[in-house]
Structure 1
Amino acid sequence: MPVTAHLLIGPVLRRVVGARATVWVETTEPTFVRVEAEGGAAGSAQTFSAYGHHYAIVVVEDLLPDADHPYRVTLDGREVWPLADSPYPPSFIRTRPADDAEHPVRLIFGSCREATPHATARKLPPDALDAYARRLMTDPQDPDLRPDLIVLLGDQVYADKPTAKIRKFLKRRRAAGYHGPDDEVVSFDEYTKLYLESWRDPEVRWLFATVPSVMIFDDHEIIDDWNTSSSWREEMNEQGWWRERISAGLASYWVYQHLGNLSPDQLAADPLLHKVTTVDDATDLLHDFGLAVDRPESADNTDRPYQWSFALDLGRTRLVMLDNRCNRVLVRGGREMLPAQEWNWFVDQAHGDYDHLVVGSSLPWLMPPAIHNVEAWNEQSADAPSRRRAGNAERLRRMVDLEHWAAFRKSFEALTELFRRLGEGGDGSPTHRVGLSGAYRAPETISVLSGDVHHSYVAKADLGPGVTTPVHQLTCSPIHNQVPAFMRPLMRFSWSRAAARVTRTMAEKAGVPEAPLRWQRLAGPYFGNAVSTLRHRGAHAEMTIEGTSPDGELFEVATVELRP
């Protein structure tokens, strides 16, 4: 008798590009997946299998422009979505107008989301993504409520800090002989439990089935402080379980998160997807892939086996999401957030025909000034000729997470200069980009979306009188987590002028040049769970931070117009 397949996770609506959309699912058995939308649009795919799990990403074709398309999912011809007893509104695919140059764009974003409250012993404030979903359910077709895209900026799952439920599962696994730490996931199968726990949250499941989403990792998808420094890598490589952890972490990220970041055309051209969908069992392929893409980066090695950064256009908004973790250059004295080849790709993407540039960076570009100064001082000290001084600085770097853009000064300055050149418009070749020249119209706005730091704020950059484009750092974190109470006064103080003066003096004595820009805080810091909205309409842009009340409702923390 044939085995009946069921939906395990999904459907997850990922990209909507013109008349096409991508829908991702995980099923309990191998099966034929079909997605049918009102109006005759449809797509299908056979699942691929790896590590005993089964997945498909379906490209839905022939959607009508500027329309809502309720859809259903069938497995081997049997309808499994929408759920028969669902109390939630139907899921649908929303397309933009065929000519949407004047159509507004609305993004919601955030980072750092632990699993739902019933899965964790910690008493965290209400989940902001749950709260957003509940509000959208009141009228999913209301353009003032419904975003065009969800942008998740890292720590979608916590491999190194799982919930009590997952820890119990791991304890049983370790007792049965599966190696690894008792309280951290290691294998691909263990990673699947993280996604199952987080993405089957009922409200979030409905939201992911209804609103397109893109994602990038931060450290906790792998482990805290992932790729902080070369010495960190050396220490991790000595752990007997590390090779399986990094292979499983990157392979599962590719399956669960990265596949959905790709457009239909990019999916068709992806060599790994082609391979895994043409073999009976892709376990070995994904295992080897996970190890290959973790290859250490050096300053003169530009041959990367895979690029996690990606870009997309939405109306007159261009979003470029950057990998701040996997492809770092960690060479002493030559640290970079992105290797040269990927940096050049980013610069290419930053030039083009758009009105608003949005850069997704899991780690903030602009931190509180005092923290910026400490990170720049620490990097300079870690490169000191004195072995003792360098060693102490390296230990401090890892102990207190001194690893943001300020701790990669070469990249911080390159990004700042790129924004300056873009904001000035006219002729010019942005820094570190050979052979690119020509006239460019300055964007209406440049915004850097970030998370990681477990508080939310808006900061405005001052890049000089020649820059006509307003440039802002927009940070929203956490969606569902919290910063320890004792740290909050310290983080507030780090924004003060007094703290900035003291730490700048320390950095100056170490030989750190002054930062090539100034910035000021416009809103925050806010320490509660939050989700933020970025709106673009013509030349206008604004950002709203919304927190969660004790009863799980959203309330406005701050709204900031992003103007010169």
Structure 2
Amino acid sequence: MAGLRLGPLLRYVDWDTGGSATIWIEADRPCQAEVRCADGAGGSVRTFQIAGHHYALVPVTGLAPGSTTAYEVLLDGVRVWPLPGTAFPPSTITTPAVAAAGRPAPGLRLTFGSCRQAAPPAGRHGPHGPDALDTLAARLAADPDEVRPDVLLLLGDQVYADQLSQETRRWLAARRDLREPPGAQVADYEEYTRLYYESWLDPEIRWLLSTVPSLQIFDDHDVVDDWNTSAAWLAEMRATPWWPERVLSGLMSYWVYQHLGNLSPAELAADPLYEAVRAAPDGTDALRAFAAAADADPSSVRWSYRRDFGRSRLLMVDTRAARVLAEGGRAMLDPAEQQWLRDNALAGHGGYDHLLIGSSLPWLMPPLIHDAETWNAALCRGERGPRWARIGEDLRRRSDLEHWAAFPASFAALSDLIEEVGTGPRAPATVCVLSGDVHHAYVAEPRIPSTARVFQLTCSPVHNSIHAAVKWGFRLGWSRTGRWLGRGFSRHGRTGRPPLSWRRTGGPWFGNQLMTLALAGRSARLRLDQAHKARKGQRTARLVTVLDRELTSTAATASAAGPGGGTEGAYGPS
């Protein structure tokens, strides 16, 4: 009898008609995977095989718009979900109410964050503290009336291939010699599957992902720290004996576990790789060839994607694999990817109220760090000679100087696009860049003559930690002293001033946290919740609100902004 190894994950929910969804599962053998909903909707599909593992992305049709329906999963006709004796509420699919002529489009509640380690890596002193996603799941499961997100946006580092827990290290040691490269890091596809089991089999997380749709994108730790930092870095990695298998396995597992669920049924139907994998008795060779081509020529693959939620548009941008690394023409996005971003931002311009640009790496950083990255990029391309170029490359890797500012032409292009989209009578109410990566949260606003309100919204980590020295560095980066130091970097690197200026209007906040954007009509409200330890006499961690702010009002203020401050209340906006 077939069993459920992982899942179900509710991934795509249709916002055009409200009538369909997709649910991802992993089974322990080939089988027919079926989803049955309480209202009669459902779907069924045969599993496909990759490297001895069996997966299905089940299309669910016949859903009623504006409804919430419970569902169950069956493998070869036997119910495997919900789990027997579960204490969690039924997993459900909630569809949006489709706007009719003359009626407003449905609003969107989107919760986002990045950098979630299921367990602290071996050798780390002390735990990370409460997991914000786990704490959210526990709160939603405990109260059926709690307001739920419409979508979870996971902005990178869903798994850590290079920082393993003690338990996973023991598992690896039982299958190979950890004294051989890559040591206590994942080496192949099978080891990647272990990371996803560790992360997604947590009972609260498993239930949450089964009932709240999720969108995902990779960042560096999904493959390796500082993935695609520079051409010199990549050349060194490709010269190691273990890197080819690592990167192929990372891309293959990302395609299976994360990327497929980002796509709509129509996009899946038009995907030749998905068709080939499903048609073959074993799709491993087809997927492996695809990953090899993607690694050899990143422009041959698009990991970025677009989702429209009523009158809110999300453009999720690949800021890792789509890079151009040659020092003479470094770019965060290759020309085709840059054109894709521009085309999708301008398509139907005036037909949406909010533009969300998902970028795992922040666009607007603390000014000192921005100037340091721009200076470093100038050194590495030889502005101060070969010796400084060597120093610059070493600093780039040691200090993670690889955000948008480290690709000055790309920073300018994104800034110009945001100003173009956000200016004029057809401009949306807001343009928000949603980011993670930097293990703290903040709100920044550029000083540009736009009609729309423009924000950099950064939220990280979901479950991780930050060294005290790095925390101090980020605080310095926003200070007047930091700005003064940054101007010194600019003079030495002969980089000039940035093409725009910006100011911090919230934060920085440190801790395990999630941001939620609530969009309705042309209004936008932002909320930041942090996971705090259980109080004395309580058994579970709690979410504490440290920011609750109307973004579309010029008089917007935060309810509380200090470390440890805030209010504890409903998860949804007040």
- TM-score normalised by L of structure 1: 0.93
Aligned counterpart in structure 1 of residue 377 of structure 2, from 364, 379, 383: 379
Paired letter, 1:266 = E
* Equivalences for residues 506-517 of structure 1 within 5 A: 506-517=489-500
Q: Distance in 1 between matches of 2:12 and 2:123?
A: 31
Q: Distance in 1 between matches of 2:92 and 2:407?
A: 43
RMSD of the alignment, in Å? 1.6
**Identity in percent:** 48
* Equivalences for residues 337-356 of structure 1 within 5 A: 337-351=332-346, 352=348, 353-356=351-354
**Structure 2 segments unaligned to the other structure (5+ residues):** 535-540, 555-574
Q: Distance in 2 between matches of 1:43 and 1:538?
A: 33
Tell me the equivalent position of 1:498. 481
Tell me the equivalent position of 2:112. 109
Tell me the equivalent position of 1:472. 455
Instruction: Give the 3-state SS of the residue equivalent to 1:545 in structure 2.
Output: strand
Paired letter, 1:93 = I
Report the CA distance between 1:561 and its aligned residue: 2.2
Deviates more, 1:35-44 or 1:382-391: 382-391
Report the CA distance between 1:123 and its aligned residue: 1.0
Tell me the equivalent position of 2:355. 357
Deviates more, 1:85-94 or 1:382-391: 382-391
Q: Does 1:532 align with 2:515?
A: yes
Q: Distance in 2 between matches of 1:217 and 1:230?
A: 20
1:267-287 Cα distance to aligned partner (Å, 9 max, x none):
111111101101111121222
Q: Distance in 2 between matches of 1:50 and 1:201?
A: 23
Q: Does 1:446 align with 2:431?
A: yes
Tell me the equivalent position of 1:554. 543
Instruction: Give the 3-state SS of the residue equivalent to 1:175 in structure 2.
Output: coil
Whether the aligned pair in 2 keeps the contact of 1:154 and 1:362 (CA below 8 Å) is yes
Q: Distance in 2 between matches of 1:119 and 1:236?
A: 24
Aligned counterpart in structure 2 of residue 335 of structure 1, from 311, 319, 330: 330
Deviates more, 1:400-409 or 1:480-489: 480-489
Paired letter, 1:254 = W
Whether the aligned pair in 2 keeps the contact of 1:167 and 1:182 (CA below 8 Å) is no
Whether the aligned pair in 2 keeps the contact of 1:247 and 1:289 (CA below 8 Å) is no
Instruction: Give the 3-state SS of the residue equivalent to 1:556 in structure 2.
Output: strand
Tell me the equivalent position of 1:300. none
Instruction: Give the 3-state SS of the residue equivalent to 1:333 in structure 2.
Output: helix
Q: Distance in 1 between matches of 2:162 and 2:211?
A: 30
* Equivalences for residues 81-480 of structure 1 within 5 A: 81-99=81-99, 101-116=104-119, 122-140=126-144, 142=146, 145-175=147-177, 180-296=181-297, 304-351=299-346, 352=348, 353-384=351-382, 386-425=385-424, 441-464=426-449, 467-480=450-463
Could you list the structure 1 runs, at least 4 aligned residues long, displaced by more than 4 angstroms after superposition. Answer: 116-122
Whether the aligned pair in 2 keeps the contact of 1:373 and 1:406 (CA below 8 Å) is yes
Instruction: Give the 3-state SS of the residue equivalent to 1:206 in structure 2.
Output: helix
Q: Distance in 2 between matches of 1:506 and 1:493?
A: 15
1:237-292 Cα distance to aligned partner (Å, 9 max, x none):
11101100000000000000000000111111111110110111112122222211
Tell me the equivalent position of 1:26. 26
Tell me the equivalent position of 2:10. 13
**Structure 1 segments unaligned to the other structure (5+ residues):** 298-303, 427-440
Report the CA distance between 1:321 and its aligned residue: 0.3
Q: Distance in 2 between matches of 1:151 and 1:194?
A: 19
Q: Distance in 2 between matches of 1:6 and 1:408?
A: 47
Whether the aligned pair in 2 keeps the contact of 1:508 and 1:514 (CA below 8 Å) is no
Instruction: Give the 3-state SS of the residue equivalent to 1:364 in structure 2.
Output: coil
Report the CA distance between 1:23 and its aligned residue: 0.2
Report the CA distance between 1:77 and its aligned residue: 0.1
Tell me the equivalent position of 2:562. none
Whether the aligned pair in 1 keeps the contact of 2:223 and 2:250 (CA below 8 Å) is yes
Whether the aligned pair in 1 keeps the contact of 2:305 and 2:315 (CA below 8 Å) is yes
Q: Distance in 1 between matches of 2:527 and 2:443?
A: 10
Instruction: Give the 3-state SS of the residue equivalent to 1:277 in structure 2.
Output: helix
1:28-78 Cα distance to aligned partner (Å, 9 max, x none):
111100001122211111100111111000110110010011111100000
Report the CA distance between 1:141 and its aligned residue: 5.3
Paired letter, 1:6 = G
Tell me the equivalent position of 1:49. 49
Whether the aligned pair in 1 keeps the contact of 2:98 and 2:106 (CA below 8 Å) is no
Q: Distance in 1 between matches of 2:150 and 2:527?
A: 15
Paired letter, 1:532 = M
CA pair 141-180 structure 1, distance change in 2 beyond 3 A: farther
Whether the aligned pair in 1 keeps the contact of 2:121 and 2:166 (CA below 8 Å) is no
Tell me the equivalent position of 1:430. none
1:434-483 Cα distance to aligned partner (Å, 9 max, x none):
xxxxxxx101100011000000111111113xx11110000000000010
Whether the aligned pair in 2 keeps the contact of 1:328 and 1:336 (CA below 8 Å) is yes
Q: Distance in 2 between matches of 1:218 and 1:140?
A: 33
